[in-house]
């Protein structure tokens, strides 16, 4: 595939590349990252996304992109509201997988010797692993309340503080949620999974801030050098996976009735305003609410673990922000000079709204929305801020992580997990993993260079660097 360079860090797949493309494909990447993008089908998948009925402006992929189900992971696509399509492949199986950052008043130099003890306390408090249930057991009536109320359910049930909601995207609740559109099987899968991180690339990670790039933004976010902060990365667990499975099957069966034909069956979709489209959106919003509630319950457990190690005199543990990166939302964006309502699909892409966005807490509005880009368990992570540029060029979106450079199967073949964990411990990074297999799959070598990924979006102007984080205690599934 030949890419046309538009400007630094931005490339184009022209509409003429493949018959049926309705818009061009836009690729954000520094030149050093291009070879990785051509190793799998992610750019071909982007060209397929450009064929979606009602797609607007461009199909977009971020520098952390890699092959996914239908859409590439790292993909962004906006379709016309209300008759453009909605596609579960453009959201992903882990609906509202997202990241939350907590800040403390602790300084690493004062607590460095307690990192291993903290890692064990967190591992004891927060269940992790494939299918692992937690301490919160819900009957179906309570599951329905979670699906309706999201993070608010957790606050009402004493799993957090009321002001946590102010610092959560959409206050932790999408009002179009409809629990009646979520199958009983999905609800059964989720009934005991609140407060758990699951497996794969999900984690709870204790970091120190080792560099500040933007002092004004860092001050607004409450961040300072040598500060201890905690990243939480997980989503809607088995419940969200089942919602995606249910509606992908349904859409595959009915899309032809709407005259939709696409080159990849994994792009199954229906018009947003169809019965099936409305049902899926209601179910997706409900699963997103479950995920926000999940991260809120985990926040409660992180606070308990920190208190166990450092005592109640350690000071507050505040939510900096919580933002999704697997979701579809109805938003208004300026397209070719005209304000339009669109259905924005973000799959492995983070919302990055710029200054002035009314939903943001007042103390952030002059800066832009906080954005969190995890690396891997042995490399840096980053805090960024949304920009005006992202609103103009990428539907208010940016990357969501380092992005895989190696499949899980390949990583297991080349990584010796016990050696890896010892190497990380020598660097004062204490890992608590559910299995050696899981640790090998998530080794730093399996991921792209997060510094290059973040530098791409910073140079492209779709997010700006605020702070860099270094891991010291990591809980993995």
Question: Which tokens is 46 given?
Answer: 């982007």
Angle, helices 275-310 vs 115-125, to 10°: value is: 140
Three-class SS string for 285-325? HHHHHHHHHHHHHHHHHHHHHHHHHHCHHHCCCEEEEEEEC
SS (H, E, C) the chain: CCCEEEECCEEEECHHHCCCCCCEEEEECCHHHHHHHCCCCHHHHHHHHCCCCCECCEEEEEEEEECCCCCCEEEEEEEECCCCEECHHHCCCCCCCEEEEEEEEEEHHHHHHHHHHHHHHHHHHCCCCCCCCCCCCCCHHHHHHHHHHCHHHHHHCCCCCHHHHHHEHHHHCCCCCCHHHCCHHHHHHHCCCCCCCCCCCCEEEEEEEEEECCHHHHHHHCCCCCEEEEEEEECCHHHHHHHHHHHHHHHHHHHHHHCCCCCCHHHCCEECCCHHHHHHHHHHHHHHHHHHHHHHHHHHHHHHHHHHHHCHHHCCCEEEEEEECEEEEEEEEEECCEEEEEEEEEECCEECCCCCCCCCCHHHCCCCCEEEECCCCCCCEEEEECCHHHHHHCCCEECCCCCECCCHHHHHHHCCHHHHHHHHHHCCCEEEECCHHHHHHCCHHHECCHHHHHHHHHHHCCCEEEEEEEEEEEEEC
Cβ 290 vs Cβ 190: under 8 Å: yes
Taking the C-alpha atoms of residue 424 and residue 437, their distance in angstroms, rounded to an integer, is: 16
- Select from 347, 328, 332, 245 the least CA-distant residue to 285: 328
Tokens of 248: 């992908």
Looking at the DSSP assignment, which residues form a beta bridge with residue 340?
Answer: 333
Known active-site residue 191: no
Whether the Cβ atoms of residue 329 and residue 285 lie closer than 8 Å to each other: no
Tokens of 229: 């902060």
Which residues are the active-site residues? 400
């Amino acid at each position: 595939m030949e890419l046309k360079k538009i400007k630094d860090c931005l490339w184009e797949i022209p509409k003429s590349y493949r018959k049926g493309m309705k818009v061009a494909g836009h690729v954000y990447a520094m030149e050093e990252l291009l070879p990785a993008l051509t190793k799998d089908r992610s750019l071909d998948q982007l060209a397929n996304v450009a064929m979606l009925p009602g797609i607007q402006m461009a199909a977009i992929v971020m520098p952390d992109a890699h092959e996914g189900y239908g859409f590439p992971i790292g993909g962004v696509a906006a379709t016309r509201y209300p008759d453009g399509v909605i596609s579960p492949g453009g959201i992903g199986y882990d609906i509202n997988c997202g990241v939350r950052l907590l800040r403390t008043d602790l300084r690493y130099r004062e607590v460095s010797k307690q990192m291993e003890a903290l890692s064990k306390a967190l591992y004891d408090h927060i269940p992790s692993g494939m299918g692992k249930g937690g301490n919160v057991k819900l009957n179906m009536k309570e599951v329905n309340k979670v699906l309706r109320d999201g993070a608010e359910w957790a606050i009402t049930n004493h799993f957090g503080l009321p002001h946590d909601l102010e610092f959560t995207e959409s206050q932790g609740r999408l009002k179009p949620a409809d629990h009646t559109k979520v199958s009983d099987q999905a609800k059964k899968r989720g009934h005991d999974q609140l407060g758990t991180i699951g497996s794969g690339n999900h984690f709870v990670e204790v970091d120190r801030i080792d560099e500040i790039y933007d002092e004004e933004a860092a001050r607004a976010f409450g961040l300072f050098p040598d500060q201890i902060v905690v990243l939480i990365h997980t989503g809607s667990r088995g419940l969200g996976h089942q919602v995606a499975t249910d509606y992908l099957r349904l859409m595959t069966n009915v899309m032809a009735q709407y005259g939709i034909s696409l080159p990849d069956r994994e792009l199954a979709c229906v018009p947003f305003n169809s019965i099936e489209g409305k049902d899926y959106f209601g179910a997706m919003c409900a699963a997103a609410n479950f995920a926000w509630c999940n991260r809120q319950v985990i926040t409660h457990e992180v606070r308990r673990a920190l208190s166990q190690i450092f005592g109640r005199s350690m000071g507050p543990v505040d939510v900096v922000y919580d933002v999704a990166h697997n979701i579809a939302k109805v938003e208004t964006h300026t397209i070719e000079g005209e304000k339009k309502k669109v259905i924005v699909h973000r799959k492995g892409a983070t919302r990055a709204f710029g200054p002035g966005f009314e939903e943001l807490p007042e103390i952030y509005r002059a800066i832009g929305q906080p954005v969190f880009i995890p690396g891997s368990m042995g490399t840096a992570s980053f805090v960024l801020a949304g920009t005006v540029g992202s609103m103009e060029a990428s539907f208010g979106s940016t990357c969501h992580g380092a992005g895989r450079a190696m499949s899980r199967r390949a990583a297991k073949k080349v990584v010796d997990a016990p050696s890896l964990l010892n190497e990380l411990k020598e660097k004062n990074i204490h890992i608590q993993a559910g299995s050696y297999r899981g640790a090998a799959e998530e080794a730093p070598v399996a991921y792209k260079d997060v510094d290059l990924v973040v530098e791409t979006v910073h140079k492209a102007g779709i997010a700006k660097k605020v702070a860099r984080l270094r891991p010291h205690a990591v809980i993995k599934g």
